[in-house]
């Protein structure tokens, strides 16, 4: 498999994970899986983060290996920052991206918990 194809596939995987983390709580059929997805994400960010740095994502690690082999340099620690910078054409501060990521993620978790555990009558 070519490195360009692998990079493209990692981007798709990243976008699917981000989309699932933020929006999978919305649809009844994906609400339970959302809890697992956010739990895995939290595990990576916090538990693996003990050894690799808080916010660690193995998919980012693997994709950055590919991008490095493709000749990209100065990669940020966050795929979200990389992609936001790419689509905006700006160098958004790391702290801003991290704050937006965290707030969005926490909002999705709160919505998921509310809909999965406190709105049982409405979802079944």
Nearest CA among 72, 68, 57 for reference residue 21: 57
pLDDT given at position 120: 66
Distance CA 31, CA 34 (A): 5
- Per residue in 48-60, pLDDT (tens digit) is 999 999 999 999 9
Write down the mean pLDDT value for the chain.
94
- Per residue in 71-87, pLDDT (tens digit) is 999 999 999 999 999 99
The structure tokens 């739990």 sit at: 39
Q: What is the value of pTM for the model shown? A: 0.90
What does the domain layout of the chain look like in residue ranges? 3-123
């Amino acid at each position: 498999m070519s490195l360009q194809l692998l990079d493209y596939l990692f981007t798709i995987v990243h976008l699917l994970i981000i989309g699932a983390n933020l929006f999978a709580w919305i649809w009844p059929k994906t609400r339970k899986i959302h809890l697992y997805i956010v739990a895995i994400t939290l595990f990576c960010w916090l538990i693996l983060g003990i050894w690799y740095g808080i916010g660690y994502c193995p998919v980012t690690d693997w994709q950055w290996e590919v991008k490095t082999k493709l000749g990209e340099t100065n990669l940020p620690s966050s795929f979200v920052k990389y992609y936001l910078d790419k689509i905006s054409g700006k160098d958004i501060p790391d702290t801003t991206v991290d704050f937006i990521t965290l707030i969005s993620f926490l909002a999705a978790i709160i919505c998921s918990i509310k809909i999965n555990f406190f709105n049982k009558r409405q979802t079944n």
